[in-house]
């Protein structure tokens, strides 16, 4: 029994064992019911036969109690052993060799965070005008007007000055566009896939993050049917930006091998959870990341 308890079973074997146990229980119930029905029919035909301890000893329920107890005990022990030996295996993920290695360096232009404004033109040079030393003074003839008033002179009121309406205020200046944070290509602490925060050493933590990243990619990626039929293999490079909060933005394919592999790689990258953001001088920054995904037929 101890050797049986330490034996491991696959899920298929456990299911077959449960079905076999269920079949034995149902067969025992049906067989017992048939046997009791036949005994009851015989006793009805001959009621004075086989009278011992009870009125109808042949159909006494307690007569079968020991057999049913042992059968139930055996089934319980069998199910308990199956429960303790239930094993489940994680789905094995195939990761190609050198999955994160690029055969050649990809030159990607660094995206500009904002458009540079052209400098203003220089001011024109000042013009120098020569002022003559002699100034001619023109004498104006003084004209004297008669301003006396006679009795018959009609006095006319001066016209009232009309107040001109004030001009409308100038429109407010347009709001300045928010300055986008610059995007770095190399920082002190590069962004990494989440899931290895408990590892203290930096090298081990980076290796763990790469392994987690590869497991996520190759457990969710599906080889396109067109690429399978045409036997397309190669490396697709997906470029994205890891934001300050770890989210993934600006996903695009910078190298494609065709057959729908680029679209499939983009789909998997967009499924990724938030990363641990990159840091420069202790502050989170935006980082440009190139991720190679290798498509290889097995």
What per-residue confidence (pLDDT) applies to 101? 72
Cα(52)–Cα(38) distance, integer angstroms: 19
Structure tokens at 267: 């789909």
Question: Where would I find the H helices in the chain?
Answer: 2-5, 11-45, 65-84, 202-220, 225-229, 261-271
Q: Is the dihedral of CA 163, 167, 168, 169 positive or negative?
A: negative
Residue 112 has, within 13 A of its CA and on its CB side, a CA count of 4
CA angle 274-249-191, nearest 5°? 50
Q: What is the pLDDT tens value at each position of the chain, 298 positions in all?
A: 444 444 556 667 777 877 887 888 888 888 877 877 777 777 667 655 544 555 556 556 666 777 777 788 888 888 887 777 776 666 677 777 777 776 665 555 444 444 556 777 888 887 777 766 665 656 655 555 666 666 666 666 666 666 667 778 888 888 776 777 888 998 989 999 998 888 888 888 989 999 999 999 999 999 999 999 999 999 999 999 999 999 999 999 999 999 999 999 999 999 999 999 999 988 999 999 999 999 988 7
Sheet holding 234-242, edge to edge: 183-184, 286-295, 234-242, 248-255
Q: What angle do CA 254, 93, 193 make, to 5 degrees?
A: 55
Q: What is the pTM of this model?
A: 0.52
Predicted local distance difference test score (pLDDT) of residue 216 = 92
Q: List the CATH code of the domain at 183-295.
A: 3.30.1150
Nearest Cα to 186, choosing from 89, 110, 93?
110
Give the separation between CA 254 and CA 247, rounded to whole angstroms: 20
């Amino acid at each position: 029994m101890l050797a049986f308890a330490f034996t491991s079973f696959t899920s298929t074997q456990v299911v077959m064992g449960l079905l076999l146990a269920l079949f034995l229980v149902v067969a025992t119930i049906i067989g017992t019911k048939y046997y009791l029905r036949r005994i009851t029919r015989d006793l009805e035909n001959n009621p004075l036969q086989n009278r011992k301890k009870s009125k109808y000893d042949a159909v006494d329920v307690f007569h079968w109690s020991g057999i049913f107890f042992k059968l139930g005990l055996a089934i319980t022990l069998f199910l308990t052993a199956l429960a303790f030996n239930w094993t489940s295996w994680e789905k094995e993920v195939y990761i190609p060799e050198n999955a994160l290695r690029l055969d050649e360096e990809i030159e990607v232009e660094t995206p500009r965070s904002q458009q540079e404004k052209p400098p203003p033109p220089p001011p024109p040079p000042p013009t120098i005008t020569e002022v003559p030393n002699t100034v001619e003074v023109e004498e104006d003839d003084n004209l004297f007007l008669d301003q006396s008033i006679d009795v018959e002179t009609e006095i006319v009121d001066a016209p009232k000055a009309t107040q001109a309406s004030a001009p409308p205020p100038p429109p407010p200046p347009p709001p300045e566009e928010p300055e986008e944070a610059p995007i770095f290509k190399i920082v002190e602490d590069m962004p990494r896939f989440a899931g290895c925060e408990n590892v203290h050493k930096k090298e081990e933590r980076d290796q763990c993050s790469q392994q987690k990243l590869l497991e996520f990619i190759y457990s969710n990626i599906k080889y396109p049917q067109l690429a399978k039929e045409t036997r397309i293999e190669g490396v697709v490079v997906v470029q994205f930006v890891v934001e300050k909060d770890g989210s993934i933005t600006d996903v695009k394919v910078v190298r494609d091998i065709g057959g729908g592999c680029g679209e499939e790689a983009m789909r998997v990258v967009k499924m990724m959870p938030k990363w641990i953001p990159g840091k420069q001088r202790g502050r989170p920054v935006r980082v440009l990341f190139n991720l190679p995904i290798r498509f290889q037929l097995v």
